[in-house]
């Protein structure tokens, strides 16, 4: 009797548990889809996860357990390979778009989409930065700020500065013994972007700011929990400190400009201070600071990571390394006796290195996803994205599509021999009106670094098996701890 009783109680518990689970799993769908009426049947397949946390648990779980692709493959396993899935991400009902066709459509249709970054990102990067502004305001500020980092003339101008700093840094690292290669690279790329935007700052200020950016970036991809001990809370504090430093730089510059009205050289800060829109409006300090917070971050974090990964891939693939070294040696051999340093035309001749960099950009896919919001109901690849819903343009899905890139997880620069991806199939720098304005600068920086590294240096990692982390960005957990040494004559 007792046994039957226990069985019944057990069964009741299981049934109650299943009902509660089903109700909880359906709450988000009832709440967000009810108001869509019949249009809910036009949504892509998927599920909106649990109340409050949505699908964030499985997103963070997949990325923290180093299985980044399992997050999307779980959707594909459950709902079929539709390439678009509904989900609840970063606090919003969202559509994740993983196909080249869908991503291109979202990135290029400014009539239908505007930026849709989570409000936590906006608080961290700034409500006057490009993650928050759109249409006319974005076009104006983008034109103003992208000019100083684009075009043959300006890039040639920065190349000397970049190269001098690369040469000094590599020499210094080779005498330092054990270093965190990624940390040092981030400092180097930060110094370069600070020079371009602010004509440099003191060593101390730069180190401090770079450290604050590291903390800020941890918060960008974390749950927006503003409680001490959580990454987002620390990131908000880091932003405050960054804003304070930038405010003091802006104030000092304004004072300096008043005393020196005629200036020989103008940098990005000058451009922002001089700017006037067609109604004669000038930018306020807080707007300038937000644009700087964004540019200084975007302009060093990505280049530092990609340079580290390209170096690692080269070191781990001896055949690729040999071919890349041979190309650089050939370039140096052709130089006249008076030439000092790399020329822009030589970078265009680095055809093999360019394939190595493109393959690195693909395999790493530094920007896992970017966010948009539908301004109206939009049809994409046969599904409806409802007005107000967020869209996650999932670059990783595009870059790991086996139909375009057979054996997609393999690092293989030769896949680029005679191969030009169709529009939308290769998006390391995004696309449309938000295409990365620093793409040429980034490629030049990476090429100059690899040029000198390949000719003269090698890296020995201390923990080659160090586990990988995927958030906020792909990197070895030990920040690539290793020793840089000069290549001896017989290795050349
Ligand atoms: C390997 C290096 C880099 C990668 C992989 C990269 C990637 C990207 C991607 C994917 C976007 C598109 C964001 C979106 O669609 O919402 C973007 C935008 C942006 N990037 Fe880069 N980037 C790199 C280097 C740089 C550099 C060096 C700079 C600074 C000069 C920079 C500044 C920006 C800015 C300001 C935006 C926002 C553009 C807008 O919203 O109009 N990036 N980047």
**Residues tagged in the binding site annotation for heme:** 436
pLDDT in tens, 344-370: 999 999 999 999 999 999 999 999 999
376 pLDDT higher than 70? yes
Residues 256-278, mean pLDDT to the nearest whole number: 83
Cα separation of 128 and 148, whole Å?
20
Q: What is the rounded average pLDDT for all residues in the chain?
A: 93
For 283-314, the DSSP string reads: PPHHHHHHHHHHHHHHHHHHHHHHHHHHHHHH
Neighbour tally for 156: CB within 10 Å: 13
Residue 2's pLDDT is what?
Answer: 64
pLDDT in tens, 2-20: 688 888 889 989 998 888 8
369-374 and 390-394: which strand pairing? antiparallel
Is the CB of 296 within 6 Å of ligand 1?
Answer: no
Alpha helices in 147-202 (DSSP H): 152-174, 181-198
How large a percentage of the chain has pLDDT more than 70? 98
pLDDT in tens, 142-190: 998 888 788 888 888 899 999 999 999 999 999 899 999 999 999 999 9
Residues 387-415, mean pLDDT to the nearest whole number: 97
Can you tell me which residue has the tokens 């970017």?
370
Is the CB of 437 within 6 Å of ligand 1?
Answer: yes
CA of 350 to the centre of ligand 1 (A): 23
Is the CB of 366 within 6 Å of ligand 1?
Answer: yes
Is the CB of 149 within 6 Å of ligand 1?
Answer: yes
Is the CB of 299 within 6 Å of ligand 1?
Answer: yes
Residues in the chain: 492
| Greatest mean pLDDT range, 206-220, 279-293, 346-360, 467-481 | 346-360
CA of 431 to the centre of ligand 1 (A): 10
Is the CB of 449 within 6 Å of ligand 1?
Answer: no
The residue contributing the CA closest to ligand 1 atom 17 is: 436
pLDDT band per the 50, 70, 90 thresholds, residue 264? low
92-97 and 84-89: which strand pairing? antiparallel
Helix axes 56-64, 70-79, angle to 10 degrees: 130
HEC secondary structure over 446-460: HHHHHHHHHHHEEEE
Residue 267's pLDDT is what?
Answer: 82
CA of 298 to the centre of ligand 1 (A): 6
CA angle 304, 444, 140 (to 5 degrees): 90
CA of 460 to the centre of ligand 1 (A): 30
Atom of ligand 1 nearest to the CA of 427: 10
Residue 416's pLDDT is what?
Answer: 98
Residue 431's pLDDT is what?
Answer: 96
pLDDT band per the 50, 70, 90 thresholds, residue 21? confident
ipTM for this prediction? 0.99
Cα separation of 216 and 125, whole Å?
9
Atom of ligand 1 nearest to the CA of 441: 27
φ/ψ of residue 334, rounded to 5: -80, -10
Helix (H) or strand (E) holding 361: helix 351-364
Atom of ligand 1 nearest to the CA of 432: 15
Cα separation of 182 and 301, whole Å?
10
pLDDT in tens, 51-90: 989 999 999 989 877 788 999 999 999 999 999 999 999 9
Cα separation of 363 and 323, whole Å?
20
Is the CB of 307 within 6 Å of ligand 1?
Answer: no
382 pLDDT higher than 70? yes
Q: Judge residue 381's burial from the number of C-beta atoms within 10 Å of its C-beta, 0-12 exposed, 13-18 middle, 19 or more buried.
A: middle
pLDDT in tens, 402-454: 999 999 999 999 999 999 999 999 999 999 999 999 999 999 999 999 999 99
Is the CB of 129 within 6 Å of ligand 1?
Answer: no
Prediction pTM value: 0.94
pLDDT band per the 50, 70, 90 thresholds, residue 205? confident
Neighbour tally for 96: CB within 10 Å: 25
Q: Which residues contact 315 (CB under 8 A, 6 or more apart)?
A: 321, 458, 459, 461
| Higher per-residue confidence, 24 vs 480 | 480
Distances (CA, A) of 462 to 179, 208, 309, 482: 10, 27, 16, 5
Residue 46's pLDDT is what?
Answer: 97
100 pLDDT higher than 70? yes
CA of 430 to the centre of ligand 1 (A): 8
Cα separation of 220 and 214, whole Å?
10
Atom of ligand 1 nearest to the CA of 196: 30
Q: Which residues contact 283 (CB under 8 A, 6 or more apart)?
A: 272, 273, 275, 291
Q: Chain-centre distance of CA 15, in angstroms?
A: 45
CA angle 277, 282, 288 (to 5 degrees): 110
């Amino acid at each position: 009797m007792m046994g039957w009783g226990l069985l019944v109680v057990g069964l009741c518990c299981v049934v109650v548990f299943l009902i509660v689970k089903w109700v909880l799993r359906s709450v988000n769908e009832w709440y967000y889809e009810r108001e869509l009426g019949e249009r809910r049947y036009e949504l892509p397949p998927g599920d909106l996860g649990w109340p409050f946390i949505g699908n964030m648990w499985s997103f963070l779980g997949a990325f923290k357990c180093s299985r980044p692709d399992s997050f999307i493959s779980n959707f594909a396993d459950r709902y079929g390979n539709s390439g678009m899935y509904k989900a609840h991400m970063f606090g919003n009902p969202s559509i994740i778009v993983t196909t080249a066709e869908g991503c291109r459509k979202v990135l290029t249709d400014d009539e239908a989409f505007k930026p849709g970054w989570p409000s936590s990102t906006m608080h961290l990067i700034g409500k006057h930065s490009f993650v928050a502004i759109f249409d006319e305001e974005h076009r104006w500020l983008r034109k103003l700020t992208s000019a100083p980092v684009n075009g043959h003339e300006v890039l040639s101008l920065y190349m000397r500065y970049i190269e001098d700093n690369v040469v000094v840094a590599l020499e210094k690292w080779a005498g330092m013994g054990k270093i965190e290669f990624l940390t040092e690279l981030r400092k180097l790329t930060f110094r370069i972007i600070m020079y371009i935007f602010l004509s440099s700052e003191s060593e101390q200020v730069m180190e401090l700011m770079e450290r604050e950016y590291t903390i800020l970036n941890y918060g960008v991809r974390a749950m927006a929990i503003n409680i001490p001990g959580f990454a987002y809370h620390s990131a908000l504090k880091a932003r405050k400190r960054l804003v304070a430093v930038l405010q003091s730089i802006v104030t000092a510059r304004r004072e300096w400009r008043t005393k020196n009205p005629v200036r020989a050289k103008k940098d990005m800060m000058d451009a922002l201070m001089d700017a006037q829109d067609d109604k004669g409006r000038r930018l306020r300090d807080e707007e300038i600071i937000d644009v700087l917070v964004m540019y200084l971050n975007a302009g060093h974090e990505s280049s530092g990571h990609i340079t580290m990964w390209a170096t690692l891939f080269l070191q781990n693939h001896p055949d690729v390394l040999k071919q890349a070294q041979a190309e650089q040696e050939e370039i140096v051999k052709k130089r006249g006796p008076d030439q000092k340093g790399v020329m822009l035309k030589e970078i265009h001749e680095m055809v093999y290195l360019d394939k190595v960099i493109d393959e690195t950009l693909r395999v790493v896919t530094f920007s896992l996803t970017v966010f948009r919001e539908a301004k109206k109901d939009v049809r994409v690849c046969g599904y409806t994205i409802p007005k107000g819903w967020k869209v996650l343009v999932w670059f990783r899905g595009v870059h790991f599509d086996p139909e375009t890139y057979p054996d997609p997880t393999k690092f293989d620069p030769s896949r680029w021999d005679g191969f030009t991806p169709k529009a939308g199939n290769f998006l390391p720098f995004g696309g449309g009106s938000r295409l990365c304005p620093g793409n040429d600068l980034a490629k030049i920086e990476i090429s100059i670094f690899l040029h000198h590294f390949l000719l003269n240096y090698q890296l020995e990692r201390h923990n080659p098996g160090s586990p990988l982390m995927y958030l906020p960005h792909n990197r070895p957990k030990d920040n690539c701890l290793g020793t840089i040494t000069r290549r001896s004559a017989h290795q050349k």
